Amino acid sequence: MLTTIVSLMATIWAVLHPVTLLLASVTFLILADYLKSRRPKNYPPGPWRLPFVGNLFQFDLDVAHLHLGIQQFVKKYGNLISLDFGNISLVVITGLPLIKEAFSHMEQTFLNRPITPLRERVFKNNGLFMSSGQTWKEQRRFTLMTLKNFGLGKKSLEQRIQEEALHLADAIGEEEGQPFDPHFKITNGVSNIISSFTFGKRFEYDNGQFQELLRLLNQATYLEASMMSVVRSLLLHLYNVFPSIMKHLPGSHQTVFRNWEKLKLFVSHMMDSHRKDWNPEEPRDFIDAFFTEMAKHPNKTTTSFNEENLICSILDFFLAGIETTSVTLRWALLYMSVHQEVQEKVHAEIDRVIVHGRQPGTADRESMPYTNAVIHEVQRMGNIAALSVPREVTADSTFAGFHLPKGTMVLTNLTALHRDPKEWATPDTFNPEHFLENGQFKKRESFLPFSIGKRACLGEQLAKTELFIFFTALMQKFTFKPPVNEKLSLKLRVGLTLSPVSHRICAVPRL
Ligand code: HEM
Ligand SMILES: *[C@@H]1O[C@H](CO)[C@@H](O)[C@H](O)[C@H]1NC(C)=O
Ligand SMILES: *[C@@H]1O[C@H](CO)[C@@H](O)[C@H](O)[C@H]1NC(C)=O
């Protein structure tokens, strides 16, 4: 009897013990998590969060900025709402007044970028896209000056874009009006502009080295996309949460690192070959200009003008300057293929203003309000950077009456702005009239594809020049059409940017 009781007790204990232990530890962990991530007083409101994962399984930010029900929370809580994704606390700003307040009046508070462990490992605080503080300041000032010196608004970079537009038109002409996916050729053209600026040269579209560079870049942007898409690339996310463990494990994050190393190597070969025939009197491109700056600041401890920053800034141009412009141009050709009546008006304006055969240039923009409006409308509808690029709060502060602790991540909802029914006559329909008034081009305040303020897109002028010249030059030569018996889709693909799903169009030569 006794032995039965004892053995029964032992059995119960054996079962109970681990369960109790487990329960106790789970309770402890939840409590610790709660205490650790308890929201500070007067923190912006937001949906209820689960322990550890926060809103991770309620919204995938990826999809959230498109369809999911964040809007209901904006209705409920107002224009500043908070969300938690694992260990990341973020707020989303909605509406022009708050966006302006954040990025103009209060911009010192929102000047930094959040840096994930992944980015940290590859870039440290180098370059200019994700850097902060003195490095960012120095590099941004220098890059803007260099872009200007290479003739944005003046001649030479614009000429390079015109020249590249001819190459692109030739390449598209080779399709002879048959259906083709314009992705590859457009990306080549756009990449050559960045390549001209940084390396002083363009590549033939079939150049193997160039193709390898673009392939690596494409894979590497996965890393950037992962910043936005927490769920989709779980491995990369795990790396962000547990860098010290993941560092030693195999997986797709390792491929990403290897790709970045290859990209850095490519750029550093370019630097080596520049060094051989560098003439400080005659800078040919960004690398040469950077060398001059490095020579001016020999003490490496007091300046950000070192080789690591040169490499990282160049990678940043490739990251920020190719996909964005290329995707926008693809949207443009797609919208033209779908809206033939708009395309006819663009053709008519081109034929009227750009006398036959001449190359379009930015000087023509003034006299081409319709084409200009079309490009703006493509950017509004394309809305390729739906949540802009994340910023980070630099110091504990009060914003819109709420407390924002240092380190909070800040997203701007550009979709809400670009699709605001109060601002746009037909918010969800492609309609160039949004940017026209009495036949003249009309600027719109609620149009911010490049964001605003000191940290707005550094390539805005370059991008606008590219969009205008590439688009006009292609429209001058071709009529874009859907393939016979095919209906083109305006569906989105979510990645680093919002791009059209892969599609084919026909470029029928004009005349
Ligand atoms: C249609 C084309 C483009 C769009 C829609 C676009 C959009 C943006 C946006 C929304 C930001 C974030 C700004 C912010 O945080 O407030 C940004 C940053 C940036 N963009 Fe662009 N961009 C485009 C083309 C380019 C090009 C051609 C370059 C060429 C170098 C470029 C370089 C950059 C850089 C370096 C930053 C980071 C600036 C900083 O942190 O100081 N972008 N862009
Ligand atoms: C951004 O705004 C759009 C349109 O109002 C909305 O559908 C979407 O859920 C919002 N996304 C976020 C992250 O706030
Ligand atoms: C570089 O600058 C730092 C800080 O101003 C100084 O301590 C150091 O001696 C300098 N090094 C050289 C080689 O001039």
Q: Could you report the per-residue pLDDT of 229-257, keeping only the tens digit for each?
A: 443 444 455 555 556 655 665 666 677 77
197 CA closest ligand 1 atom index = 30
What is the CA 39 to chain-centroid distance, rounded?
29
Beta strands in 326-431 (DSSP E): 391-392, 397-399, 402-404, 409-412
Range among 142-151, 215-224, 258-267, 466-475 rated most confident: 466-475
Closest ligand to residue 298's CA: 3
Backbone angles phi, psi at 494, to 5 degrees: -100, 125
Q: What is the mean pLDDT of residues 161-173?
A: 97
Q: Could you report the per-residue pLDDT of 189-226, keeping only the tens digit for each?
A: 999 999 999 999 899 999 998 899 888 888 777 655 65
Q: At what angle do helices 323-338 and 369-382 cross, to 10 degrees?
A: 110
Average pLDDT, the chain: 85
pLDDT at 100: 94
| CA atoms in the 13 A half-sphere facing the CB of 477 | 23
pLDDT at 121: 78
Residue of 388, 398, 395 lying closest to 108 (CA atoms): 395
Identify whether the C-beta of residue 470 lies closer than 8 Å to the C-beta of residue 189: yes
* Long-range interactions of 431-439: CB distance < 8 A, separation 24+: 431/377, 432/342, 432/370, 432/373, 432/374, 432/376, 432/377, 433/373, 434/373, 434/376, 434/377, 434/380, 435/372, 435/373, 435/376, 435/377, 436/369, 436/370, 436/373, 439/369
- Give the integer Cα–Cα distance in Å for 212 and 14: 60
pLDDT at 282: 86
Radius of gyration of the chain (CA): 26
- Which residues lie with the beta carbon below 6 Å from any ligand 2 atom? 64-65, 70-71, 92, 413, 415-416, 419
CA of 126 to the centre of ligand 3 (A): 20
- Please say if the pLDDT value at position 435 is more than 70: yes
- Please say if the pLDDT value at position 35 is more than 80: no
pLDDT at 242: 58
Q: What is the mean pLDDT of residues 42-61?
A: 67
- Please say if the pLDDT value at position 304 is more than 80: yes
Closest ligand to residue 82's CA: 2
Share of the chain above pLDDT 70, in %: 81
pLDDT at 496: 75
pLDDT at 67: 43
Share of the chain above pLDDT 90, in %: 59
- Which residues lie with the beta carbon below 6 Å from any ligand 1 atom? 128-129, 140, 316-317, 320-321, 324-325, 328, 384-385, 388-389, 391, 449-451, 455-459, 462-463
Q: Tell me which residue has its CA closest to atom 6 in ligand 1.
A: 450
Q: What is the mean pLDDT of residues 390-408?
A: 93
- Please say if the pLDDT value at position 62 is more than 70: no
- Please say if the pLDDT value at position 464 is more than 60: yes
CA of 296 to the centre of ligand 3 (A): 14
Q: Tell me which residue has its CA closest to atom 6 in ligand 3.
A: 301
- Please say if the pLDDT value at position 36 is more than 70: no
Beta strands in 305-392 (DSSP E): 391-392
What's the pLDDT band for 106 if we cut at 50, 70, 90? confident
- Please say if the pLDDT value at position 322 is more than 50: yes
- Please say if the pLDDT value at position 292 is more than 90: yes
